[in-house]
Chains A and B, each alone.
Chain A
Amino acid sequence: MNYPKLYFYRRIVQAKLFIDAHFAETIELYDIADEAYYSKFHFARKFKEVYLQTPHQYLVSVRIEQARKLLATGSSVAAACTAVGFEELSSFSRLFKRRTGINPSAYIVQQQNLQKQIAEAPLSMVPHCFAYQYGWVEKAQFQTNES
């Protein structure tokens, strides 16, 4: 296999993986550009060509996604904010709402309600045909002859 842009792609992908691994740290564009062996502005342009967003936008998206996981598993808003690399609670909350459509506190409540529903009535989360296939219900709804 011989692609003329293969080396270019490897460098950009390495930079993306660097963000994935170090999102919780203070990352400057210089750090990521260094990872890709590019100048800062050239790197940002190339990154956007591949991922359709700037490195900073991608970093924010990774942080918000990680925060979403933490909030869903019991973290407080402040703890999640710090854990994913945000320095200010206000900017974290603003960006979280912008990307998920809901503020972090409301997201916690939403997830707590979901977990409660899962614990109380797990089968209510599963389409009946699949529950039957797994053997989690005794009778398929399409069986009509009562025994």
Chain B
Amino acid sequence: MITRMTHMNIYVLDQDSALDFYTNKLGLKVIIDVPMNKDARWLTVGAPDQPGFEINLTPVHESILHSKETADALRNLVKEGTFGVGIFTCTDIMATYEELTAKGVEFIKPPTKEFYGTEALFKDDSGNWFSLAQLSPVKP
């Protein structure tokens, strides 16, 4: 029986830039940062109020799993905004929207009321897009 999800990958174009974006702009915390070689490090971040869930900021390089052609294609897909990666929730979406906008985060949809709450869409520095949501309380 599956009980929890602990790690997920986000493909990023540049780990240093992604680190700045996810920590200094989104406000996530570095969970672990392990230098491995000149091309990459094991770098995970997480939401301050959600211990036990790590987002792995994965650079797209040629590797055992990705040929050079695949890595190039993947980088282009990321850059073009092909991937909707996930949903970040917050307690006050207008305040969070204002803060992230002030920090230069690119929103592709402003806060909009939906049947499940209020939602905005933004892009990370690589091109991945996320939902930012303030969810309505679940009715019993």
Contacts and interface: CB of A to CB of B under 8 A. Distances in A.
Interface in B33-68: 34-37, 40, 42, 56, 58, 63-65
B124 to A, nearest CB: 20
A99 to B, nearest CB: 11
B42 A9 contact: no
Contacts of A42: none
Name the residue among B7, B40, B99 with the largest chain A CB count within 10 angstroms. Answer: B99
Interface of B: 7, 9, 32, 34-37, 40, 42, 56, 58, 63-65, 91-92, 94-95, 98-99, 102, 110-111
A interface residue count range (under 10 / 10 to 19 / 20 to 34 / 35 or more) = 20 to 34
A126 B96 CA distance: 32
B102 A135 contact: no
Contact of B102 (A17, A122, A133): A17
A125 B7 contact: no
Contact of A122 (B36, B63, B64): B36
Interface in A103-122: 118, 122
B94 A3 contact: yes
A22 interface: no
A131 B64 CA distance: 10
Question: How would you classify the secondary structure of chain B's contact residues: helix, strand, loop or mixed?
Answer: mixed
A119 B104 CA distance: 35
Nearest to A129: B7
B95 A134 contact: no
A134 B99 contact: no
A50 interface: yes
Contacts of A63: none
Contacts of B35: 118, 122
B94 A6 contact: yes
Contact of B91 (A52, A122, A131, A135): A52
Nearest to A3: B94
Contacts of A50: 92, 95
Contacts of B7: 127, 130
Contact of A125 (B9, B34, B95, B99): B34
A51 B90 CA distance: 10
Contacts of A118: 34-35
Contacts of B99: 13, 16-17
A59 interface: no
Contacts of B42: 122, 125-126, 130-131, 134
